[in-house]
Chains A and B, each alone.
Chain A
Amino acid sequence: MKKIQLKLIIPLCLLLICAVYACKKSFLDKPALGQIDPALLSNKAGVESLLIGAYSELDGYGGKGAGQSAAPSNWMFGSITGGDAYKGSDPSDGANDQTPVATFNLPASNSFIVGKYASLYDGVQRANDVLRGIPNAKDLTADDIKRISGEARFLRAYFFFELRRNFFMVPYVDETIELKDAGSVKNDKDIYPMIEADFKFAMDNLPETQPQRGRANKYAAMAYLAKVYMAQAKYGTETKNLLTTLMTSGKTAGGQKYALNDHFQQNFSPEAGQKNSAESVFAVQASVNDGSLGNNSNQGDNLNFPYNGGPGGCCGFFNPSQWLANSYKTDATTGLPLLDDFNSGSPVTDVTYTGTLDPRIDITIGRKGIPYLDWGPHPGDAWIRNPGSDGHFSPKKNVYSKSEVGTNTSTENTWTSALSTSNNVNLIRYSDIILWAAECEVETGSLATAMSLVNQVRTRAGIQSGWVYLNSPYDASKSIYTVQTTPAANYKVGLYTVFPDQAYARKAVRFERKIELAMEGHRFFDLQRWGSAYQAAEINAFFASDKSIDITLKDAHFTQNQDEYRPIPQAQIDISNSKGPIVLKQNPGY
């Protein structure tokens, strides 16, 4: 008996001892699967990949704060808040997050500003990670370093510019600030000088063309620097020189000389052969069916399609306002916009409206009876989710044609597949540059030059092959309506013959921006840079005019010295100030 016991005990003990040893430290060392150790990134491939990661944050999807609020198109923060459009959908939809933005009843906890703020800083941080990585990557050449740091600083400046014009006083963090300290940086400085420095660096270091056309090049940086100057109302020589260089020798990353596309519609085409055109100074590249489940598409605009039967089938947001539609009225004889009286007289309606109109209206706004790309005539209210608060128009610039379904829209397995498109988000179009130049001329130069610049833009609008025609199929490969017999409306667009004085010229240039760049996220920021009083007057006039159509505007009001900027998200103030010292201060008025 005892023998048996020993026979068993000894091996058992050995087994236990072995187990104890075998299970020592190495057993618990389990590396993180499917993740990348930072050490693996210390080379050119790693840094280049981090740079792509920073670019990928341009679309406001896939990072912190991702969502429609972070859309680079600024449909909410630039267009709706500038009077281009209504929020749309049912009144209750977004009553908690979107309506407060649209009506300037913003609590600092609003989720839409929370998302926007977070997403932009995620972009900043990704750009900083590229810059942090460069010194460790020993296989980078001097040219690589110039280009990569130029692109990274371009992107950082872009994100900070968005932060600056939305949130005013924001903390500035660059690659020298360690992550753990980034939450303790105060928002006590105007960050425009840093943004300018980054864009200047990018301008000085980036090549004129790039092997990939989605990258920022020298001229994109130059254009952004000009945009930053314009935002500060710097209309002087420095700005003008930049704009002149851009107009004389600017070219796209792909090497095309900047020019206006003959067909206005081409700027809004998701078609691979149409986008990234000579007019596209810098755009957020959108792609579909690339394995990202729609996240690399123009996802930020995924609510902004007609409701029910049309393209997308959802969600009936972002309906162009009556205020905007009326802006396309032209003088029946001169074809010039009604700078002062656009909103009086009979409102612009559907295909039955007989007054003269700027043809850009029907590229910008979906109106009943007018061909809606190749989806047939817009059926009117059948595509409007709630006519009692959304008006009667649909957005159009971000929409794809029926022939593009499945190629330029997602077929991946998501709820938004019909709403995810490869429509690039134009951050700067060439007409933007021309109109800035015109503005500079109005403020500090020649009214005649200003006029000729505005007329460049209007000339393109007048190119008849770019108009919309009744009963005419839309050809997505050329961005035109091909049987061009009956224009869809009584289009008349004329050129200015004289800018009699500065005030008129200013009005004309500003109005041209409104109708050329409508629904592209610019209006609020244009009003912002034109001064608080002007902004308040414009926006409150819009509210007064359109609150009878959009009932959610009933309590809307733009308050000067407050609503020019959004509040810093309350949670961010709480987090940063939680350790005692005051780090973040709220913007005025909130």
Chain B
Amino acid sequence: MLLCCLVSSLVVTAQTKYKGKVIGSDDKLPIIGASVRIQGSTTGAVTDVNGEFTLTLSPGQTLVVSYIGYQSQEVKVGASTTLTVTLVAGSNALNEVVVTGYGSQRKKDITGSVAVVNVANLKSVPGGQASALLQGQAAGVTVINNGAPGGNSAVRVRGITSIGNTNPLYVIDGVQGNFNDVNANDIESIQVLKDAGSAAIYGVQGSNGVVVITTKKGKSGRATISYDAYYGSQKPLSNGFRMAGSQEYADAIQRSVGSVQYPGTGGAILKDYITPTAANEGDPGTNPATYNINSNQITKTNKVGTDWFHEVFKSAPRTFHNITASGGSDKSNYLMSVNYLNEQGTLLNTYLKRYAMRVNTNFAIGDHIRVGENAYLYHKDNPQITNQNEGNAISYTYRQPPVIPVYDIAGNFAGTKSQGLSNSSNPVAIQTRAGNNKGYNWTMQGNVFAEVDFLKHFTARTSIGGTFTNYYYYSFNPTSVENAEGNTNPNTFQENAGFSSTWIWTNSITYNQKFGKHDVKVFLGEEAKNYNQRGLRAGRSNYTVATTPVYVDLDTGSPSGQSNQNIDINYLRLYSLFGKLDYAYNDRYLLSGTLRRDGASVFSPDHRYGTFYSVTAGWRISQESFLKNVSWLNDFKLRGGYGELGSISNIEKFNATNLFAANPQNSYYDINGVGNAATLGIYRSQIGNLLTSWETDKVTNVGFDATILNNKLEISFELYKKDITGLLFKPDLADPQGGANPAYVNGGNISNKGIDFSLTYHGNVGSDFKFDLTGNITSYKSRVVSLPDGKKYYDFTSDGSTRIGAFTRFQPGQPMGEFYGYVVERLFRDAADVTGSPTQESAAPGFFKYKDVNNDGKITPDDRTFFGNPNPNFTYSFTLNATYKNFDANAFFYGSQGNKNINYVKYWTDFPQVFKGGVTKGILANSWTPTNQNATIPVLTAAANFSNTAVFNSYYMESGSYFRLKNLTLGYSIPKSQIKQIGVSKLRVYLQGSNLFTITKYKGLDPEIQPSNLDKNTSFGIDFGSYPANQKVYLIGVQATF
């Protein structure tokens, strides 16, 4: 075989220079940037600004000419040295070449599961985080966003593949990298590799799916400069948390726990002041002359009620500017872009500012050697807030009582530091004080590569790339004297810095040759990856001279009580060998196989290597003679495959070994009894496991792709089954085994089954009105199949700050993340109802009546049951793109159906006895009283026990389904004739609105709720007051090309 190749490649034929021109069938205008390739080789050219190319050819060769939006065409080279190729317009994407794992393939040849993202649609959603934009763009990909500028997204490709991190692998221009901060404007194409057939080539890193991103390259022809910009504003949600005003709040407190602040009977009396406690005008301590921030902070009662939500959520502007310069010849091309993004968050002092630059260049040295680089640099300023936490400003907007004004009489922040107010903090104070905190990040990512074509059918490639990140953040935390809690803590300052670096060196050889009807492609590669991370943190406190940012640093704080730690020491090495074989017979029967062997430093030497493979096949039935004449069927391909993938996303850096550690917090002790110095001690930190190895995904995928009705309708349908075996679990050690961290063990399986369905229709009405309609449906079922030996279940506590225990039980036979607890049947109506019901601790009228699941006549922990699934039945999207003459429109709808949310906010707002925080509007009318026995909210009481607030139950569950207009854009392109004379080749202006409506029954801010920890998939769909992702954004934008 090899000999064959060598022989055939040595055949040399006479070569002549040919000139050609490519035009479009629609407007007969030259096509700039079309790819012209000699079939069976990688030699080719790109058409210039006049649609022309020059190539050295010999008769008999076949040219493949392709351009996005046109059908690829094959042209036999004849004797005439001038060629004119007319490409037929049409979105028949079958011949489109898409980038897949370590290479590219024609869409029609793909046998694995590869979702091609419509990048134009993706870019239509404004937002700084590229991964957030993936939402609804590819069947099989579930994305859950939040509204924090720079906030990460939860991305799940085909179900939930781990109890830990399920982020897909992002491969940008062939190198693993950080996708989130990639400038969306730089993106040329995105493919999502969903099954083993497409992703097994990534072996142990492929199990969460692989997103392959290609950035734009320069096109040959004259230099073009394009400018993109928008300006707009994001609007806070108009309703907020729907909190009660002061009178209703005070009445609710009075009817439950009571507070010295609101005296009276049968209705609370709002006094003039909350500090001094419940004082009226003229009372002692209310004279402004006696004001003292520490001992007599005089604060008036806000008798109407402070709308805390809208005190911290304000309209926020966003700006984006991008300039791209690109150009090239048939020997080289370049693209350079610079951009600036300033996305202000609606929550005070949250923002993402990013300054980025990309330089992509490619050079051909002779006909057979190409070198190039892709470089992306950015700097961002993006202080983070901890989302989904009872201690952040968002949660304080419902926890801070409305009677408290934002400011006291002296203009300082008012707070809870008076009797009987609550343990909340002033959210305006928190966010205002955070204004000087910074979170910086410098990142450089990209690669340099060289490719050599040799022996006619071979291409060798080497690439060295990686990501280098420096992060840097600091925060000053003043003493919040106005709060009930922590008002005597010293002020503190903390500064953190660190870096991480990843380098990846990839070498590969590709062989591609056609033998008659046989098309063979062989790919072999080798890759080494080294990841290294280190950081440090230092803190000081007791700043006395000044607390301004110009003064506060590590040197100016008190030397006593200083702290310094290493943080985030992490590393990983991987070494891999891999190969892929693609075989096609007669464009009809497709077969593909991959094999990858990975070695990872995290495992013991005996269990460090894993082999992953896949086999896929496709049958383009439409090519068969019996279907050739079916005119409505343009293309129909059946495909399927099986393979295995791995994951080490969740393993720790040194799993195999027994370890000891020394740490001031864990093992130091003041053995000298001096009170301010501890002696170094050592403790057993880990019980290693030599046997631990990969998580292995076994994926079966079947589906079909069809193009029908004269290429107007494209359908893709897939069924898959994805079994994750050897799931990495932290075993529960018995306490007598001590406190050392147990190594991960492989135990437990998850099964995912699902359907991906997508449909695209290209239509037109007359020649002026054209539209594309795209729909996606993603449906998965993730089920726990088994757990480590002997383990019946895991109860997972959310990383949000739950005060009522675990929400989720992980048990074989149940969906991932299903809610587990007591089922509330209703409220006890009266005393007779209590006596007539099963025995229940602290049962009383107006309290929860729990369901006696096992019918034993008493409510015990055995009556807890599974009652809700946070996974949607399906998520779906529709996109409509339409153009009419110079007008264009895009509408993007997204929805999630059938998922349940836990609205944990109700724990705070429906029970006044819970820390006396704010209460929900309508609580007086809707809570149980002897005369309102069918109430929706339990009786207002001081008691906090099993029958109301102490345990998790179904009261908190609500439907999380929603349907949303994510985006609507209307654009107008100024006719070329009017702008040509000013040197502009294209000018488009547009108006855009995002999140214009959401239809949902969910009562919280936003039914779209991220897990509180994006690196865990044990507990999700729980709302602690998430930064809402559904706020309206209005933009005006311009795109110009010169």
Question: Which residues of A are interface residues toward B (Cβ below 8 A)?
Answer: 4-5, 8-9, 12, 15-16, 19-20, 23-25, 27-38, 41, 46, 49-59, 61-65, 90-93, 95-96, 99-100, 105, 107, 109, 111, 117-119, 121-122, 124-126, 128-129, 171, 173, 179-180, 182-185, 212-215, 254, 270-272, 275-276, 285-293, 295-296, 307-309, 311-315, 381-382, 386-389, 405-408, 410-413, 415, 417-418, 422, 424, 551-552, 554-555, 569, 571-572, 574-576, 578-580
In chain B, residues 407-426, which have Cβ atoms closer than 8 Å to a Cβ of chain A? 417-420, 423
Contact check, A285 vs B566: say whether CB atoms are below 8 A apart: no
List the B side residues contacting A95 at CB < 8 Å. Answer: 944-945, 949-950
From known contacts A313-B489, A410-B561, infer whether A290 and B676 are also in contact, taking CB-CB under 8 Å: yes
List the B side residues contacting A58 at CB < 8 Å. Answer: 669
Complex: A109 Cα to B861 Cα, angstroms: 9
Complex: A8 Cα to B368 Cα, angstroms: 11
Distance in Å: Cβ of A293 to nearest Cβ of chain B: 6
From known contacts A95-B949, A111-B805, A574-B792, infer whether A412 and B539 are also in contact, taking CB-CB under 8 Å: yes
List the A side residues contacting B673 at CB < 8 Å. Answer: 212-214, 254, 272, 275-276, 285, 424
Selected from B658, B679, B942, the residue in CB contact (under 8 A) with A551 is B942
List the B side residues contacting A100 at CB < 8 Å. Answer: 950
Binary contact readout B602-632 vs A (1 if CB under 8 angstroms, 0 otherwise): 0001001000000000000000000000000
Complex: A311 Cα to B665 Cα, angstroms: 24
B564 within 8 A of A: yes
Contact check, A53 vs B682: say whether CB atoms are below 8 A apart: yes
B585 within 8 A of A: no
Distance in Å: Cβ of B668 to nearest Cβ of chain A: 6
Complex: A288 Cα to B368 Cα, angstroms: 69
Contact check, B605 vs A415: say whether CB atoms are below 8 A apart: no
From known contacts A96-B951, A285-B673, infer whether A182 and B654 are also in contact, taking CB-CB under 8 Å: no
Selected from A25, A314, A422, the residue in CB contact (under 8 A) with B675 is A422
Contact check, B542 vs A406: say whether CB atoms are below 8 A apart: yes
Contact check, A417 vs B682: say whether CB atoms are below 8 A apart: no
B979 within 8 A of A: no
Selected from A49, A57, A121, A574, the residue in CB contact (under 8 A) with B682 is A49
Contact check, B945 vs A183: say whether CB atoms are below 8 A apart: no
Highest count of chain A CB atoms <10 Å: which of B417, B562, B684, B687:
B684
B976 within 8 A of A: no
Nearest residue (CB) in B for A47 is B682
List the A side residues contacting B560 at CB < 8 Å. Answer: 289, 406-407, 411
Contact check, A19 vs B505: say whether CB atoms are below 8 A apart: yes
Binary contact readout B680-693 vs A (1 if CB under 8 angstroms, 0 otherwise): 11111111000000
Contact check, A296 vs B664: say whether CB atoms are below 8 A apart: yes
What would 10 A/B residue contacts be, using CB atoms closer than 8 Å?
A35-B685, A50-B683, A95-B945, A95-B950, A125-B684, A276-B673, A314-B423, A413-B563, A554-B943, A580-B790
From known contacts A37-B659, A56-B668, infer whether A576 and B734 are also in contact, taking CB-CB under 8 Å: yes
Binary contact readout B726-747 vs A (1 if CB under 8 angstroms, 0 otherwise): 0000001111111110000000
List the B side residues contacting A551 at CB < 8 Å. Answer: 942-943
Distance in Å: Cβ of A557 to nearest Cβ of chain B: 12
Contact check, A28 vs B670: say whether CB atoms are below 8 A apart: no
Distance in Å: Cβ of A69 to nearest Cβ of chain B: 13
Complex: A407 Cα to B490 Cα, angstroms: 12
Besides the contacts A183-B736, A214-B671, A411-B490, what 5 more A-B pairs have beta carbons closer than 8 Å? A34-B661, A308-B417, A314-B484, A314-B486, A418-B489
Contact check, A34 vs B566: say whether CB atoms are below 8 A apart: yes
List the B side residues contacting A59 at CB < 8 Å. Answer: 669
Nearest residue (CB) in A for B741 is A64
From known contacts A19-B505, A290-B664, A579-B789, infer whether A64 and B561 are also in contact, taking CB-CB under 8 Å: no
Nearest residue (CB) in A for B450 is A12
Highest count of chain B CB atoms <10 Å: which of A24, A289, A551:
A289
Binary contact readout B531-560 vs A (1 if CB under 8 angstroms, 0 otherwise): 000000001111000000000000000101
Contact check, B736 vs A308: say whether CB atoms are below 8 A apart: no
The 9 A-B pairs with the shortest beta carbon distances in the complex, nearest first, are A125-B738, A578-B790, A183-B734, A52-B681, A64-B739, A411-B561, A122-B739, A413-B539, A287-B670
Distance in Å: Cβ of A207 to nearest Cβ of chain B: 15
From known contacts A27-B575, A109-B861, infer whether A46 and B914 are also in contact, taking CB-CB under 8 Å: no
Contact check, A90 vs B667: say whether CB atoms are below 8 A apart: no
Distance in Å: Cβ of A350 to nearest Cβ of chain B: 16
B528 within 8 A of A: yes
Highest count of chain B CB atoms <10 Å: which of A128, A254, A574:
A574
Nearest residue (CB) in A for B805 is A96
Binary contact readout B903-933 vs A (1 if CB under 8 angstroms, 0 otherwise): 0000000010111100000000000000000
Contact check, A32 vs B657: say whether CB atoms are below 8 A apart: yes
B895 within 8 A of A: no
Query: Interface size of B by Cβ–Cβ distance < 8 Å?
Result: 122
B660 within 8 A of A: yes
Contact check, B462 vs A15: say whether CB atoms are below 8 A apart: yes
Binds A, one of B452-460, B715-723, B876-884, B1023-1031: B452-460
Binary contact readout B500-511 vs A (1 if CB under 8 angstroms, 0 otherwise): 000001010000
Contact check, A56 vs B542: say whether CB atoms are below 8 A apart: no
List the A side residues contacting B942 at CB < 8 Å. Answer: 91, 388-389, 551
Nearest residue (CB) in B for A114 is B735
Contact check, A96 vs B803: say whether CB atoms are below 8 A apart: yes
List the B side residues contacting A308 at CB < 8 Å. Answer: 417-419, 484, 487
List the A side residues contacting B735 at CB < 8 Å. Answer: 64-65, 117-118, 121-122, 569, 572
Selected from B483, B505, B569, B665, the residue in CB contact (under 8 A) with A293 is B665
Nearest residue (CB) in B for A55 is B669
Contact check, B736 vs A286: say whether CB atoms are below 8 A apart: no
From known contacts A35-B654, A63-B739, A91-B257, infer whether A413 and B493 are also in contact, taking CB-CB under 8 Å: yes
Nearest residue (CB) in A for B911 is A92
Nearest residue (CB) in A for B687 is A179
Complex: A37 Cα to B661 Cα, angstroms: 9
Contact check, A4 vs B366: say whether CB atoms are below 8 A apart: yes
Distance in Å: Cβ of B263 to nearest Cβ of chain A: 14
Contact check, B913 vs A91: say whether CB atoms are below 8 A apart: yes
Complex: A376 Cα to B734 Cα, angstroms: 49
Complex: A105 Cα to B489 Cα, angstroms: 35
List the A side residues contacting B452 at CB < 8 Å. Answer: 8-9, 12
From known contacts A65-B739, A92-B914, infer whether A8 and B678 are also in contact, taking CB-CB under 8 Å: no
Contact check, A27 vs B681: say whether CB atoms are below 8 A apart: no
List the B side residues contacting A552 at CB < 8 Å. Answer: 943-945
Nearest residue (CB) in A for B540 is A413
Nearest residue (CB) in B for A111 is B805
Complex: A122 Cα to B739 Cα, angstroms: 5
Contact check, B949 vs A49: say whether CB atoms are below 8 A apart: no
List the B side residues contacting A122 at CB < 8 Å. Answer: 735, 738-739
List the B side residues contacting A118 at CB < 8 Å. Answer: 735, 739
Complex: A61 Cα to B735 Cα, angstroms: 16
Distance in Å: Cβ of A323 to nearest Cβ of chain B: 21
Contact check, B665 vs A295: say whether CB atoms are below 8 A apart: yes
Complex: A5 Cα to B669 Cα, angstroms: 68
B709 within 8 A of A: no
List the A side residues contacting B363 at CB < 8 Å. Answer: none
Complex: A61 Cα to B526 Cα, angstroms: 48
Distance in Å: Cβ of B157 to nearest Cβ of chain A: 27
In chain B, residues 634-678, which have Cβ atoms closer than 8 Å to a Cβ of chain A? 653-654, 657-678
Highest count of chain B CB atoms <10 Å: which of A28, A63, A295:
A28
From known contacts A52-B680, A287-B675, A555-B945, infer whether A96 and B804 are also in contact, taking CB-CB under 8 Å: yes
List the A side residues contacting B664 at CB < 8 Å. Answer: 290-293, 295-296
B260 within 8 A of A: yes
Highest count of chain A CB atoms <10 Å: which of B260, B601, B913:
B913
From known contacts A56-B668, A291-B678, infer whether A90 and B915 are also in contact, taking CB-CB under 8 Å: yes
Complex: A19 Cα to B503 Cα, angstroms: 14
Contact check, B671 vs A411: say whether CB atoms are below 8 A apart: no
Contact check, A292 vs B678: say whether CB atoms are below 8 A apart: yes
Contact check, A408 vs B507: say whether CB atoms are below 8 A apart: no
Contact check, B569 vs A34: say whether CB atoms are below 8 A apart: yes
